[in-house]
Structure 1
Amino acid sequence: MLNLKGIHHIAIIASNYQQSRHFYCEILGLQLLNETYRAERQSWKADLALDGRYVIELFSFPDAPPRISYPEACGLRHLAFAVEDLEQAIQCLTSHHIECEPIRIDPITDKAFTFFSDPDGLPLEFYQDGLDDVE
C-alpha cells in the first residue's frame, strides 16, 4: 500500500496568466512564492501558497484548449477553500464583481458553502470552517 502524506499541489492552466495571477493573489489572497517565465514553452509558472503552505501551480500555455468545467462534468469537480466567515468571503468576492451562487447547506455536516468561478470558469467553492471536518 502507498503511504501518501497529503496533497502536494493543484495545477491550474490559465488562459490569461496576469488576470488569473491577480485573481488568486490579490482577490483570494494566496501568496506568490516564486514566478518563472519559461521561454522554451512560452509559459509562465507561479507557485502559490496558502498560509505559507505551497498549494497551487498556476501556469500559462499558448493556445491551451478550453475544458468543460461545470461542477457536474466528469473529471475534477471543483477546488474548495475553507473559510471562517462565509458571508465575509462572499462580500469580498462581490466587491470585486465576482458572482457567487446562493448559499447552500451541506446535509451531512450542516456547514454552509457557495460556488463561484475563477477567470477561466474553473468552479471554486468556499466552505464554512471546513477544516474541522477533515482533521
Structure 2
Amino acid sequence: MLSLNKVHHIAIICSDYDKSKLFYTEILGLTIIREIYREERQSYKLDLALNGEYIVELFSFPNPPARTSRPEAAGMRHLAFEVSNLDEVVSFLMSKKIDCEAIRVDEFTGKQFTFIADPDDLPIEFYER
C-alpha cells in the first residue's frame, strides 16, 4: 500500500497573472512564499501559503489553452477551503463584488457550502466546518 502524508500543493495555470495574483492574495488571503520569473519559459511561478503552510503554485504561461472548469466537468472538480463561518465569507466576497452561488447544505454531513469562480472561472468551494 502506498503511504501518503498529505496533499503537498495544488498547481494552477492562470491566463492573467496579475489578476490571479491579486485574487489569491488579496481576496483569498493566501500569503506569498516566493515569486520567481522564469525567463526561458516566459512564466511566473508564485508559491502561496495558507496559515503558513505551502498550498498553491500559481503559474503564468503565454497563451495557455482554455479548459472546461465547471464542477461537474470531467477532471479535477474544484479546490475547497474549510471556513469557520460561511455567512461571513459570503458577505466578504460579495463586498469584493465576487459572485457566490446560493449556499447549499451537504446532504450527508449537514454542513453548509458554496462556490465561487477564480479569475479563470476555476471553481472554488468554501465548506463550513
* TM bin (shorter chain): over 0.9
Shift of residue 15, structure 1, vs aligned partner: 0.3
How far does residue 121 in structure 1 lie from its aligned partner after superposition?
A: 0.1
Gaps of 5+ in 2: none
TM-score normalized by the length of structure 1:
0.94
State the partner residue of 2:26: 26
- Listed one character per residue, the Cα deviations across residues 42-98 of structure 1 (whole Å, up to 9, x for unaligned) are 000000000000000000000100000011000000010000010110111111110
Q: What is the CA distance between 1:110 and its match in structure 2?
A: 0.3
For 1:34, what is the secondary structure of its paired residue? strand
Secondary structure of 1:23's match?
A: helix
Q: Sequence identity, in percent? A: 57
The residue identity in structure 2 corresponding to 1:23 is: F
The answer for the alignment partner of 2:76 in structure 1 is 76
Any stretches of 5+ residues in structure 1 without a counterpart? 130-135
- 2:115 aligned with 1:115, yes or no? yes
How many residue pairs end up in the alignment?
Answer: 129
1:133 aligned partner: none
C-alpha distance in 2 between matches for 1:115 and 1:6 = 24
Structure 1's consecutive aligned runs of 4 or more residues displaced over 6 angstroms after TM superposition are none
Per the alignment, in what secondary structure is the counterpart of residue 66 of structure 1?
coil
Please say if 1:45 is aligned against 2:34. Answer: no
Provide the C-alpha distance between the structure 2 equivalents of 1:19 and 1:93, rounded to a whole number of angstroms: 16
Deviation, structure 1 residue 35: 0.2
CA distance in 2, matches of 1:21, 1:85: 24
Please, what is the CA RMSD of the aligned residues? 0.5
**After superposition, what is the alpha-carbon deviation per residue over 1:2-43, rounded to whole angstroms, capped at 9, x for unaligned?**
111010000000000010010000010001000000000000
Aligned to 1:57: 57
With normalisation by structure 2, the TM-score equals: 0.99
Identify the residue that residue 99 of structure 2 maps to in structure 1: 99
Aligned to 1:132: none
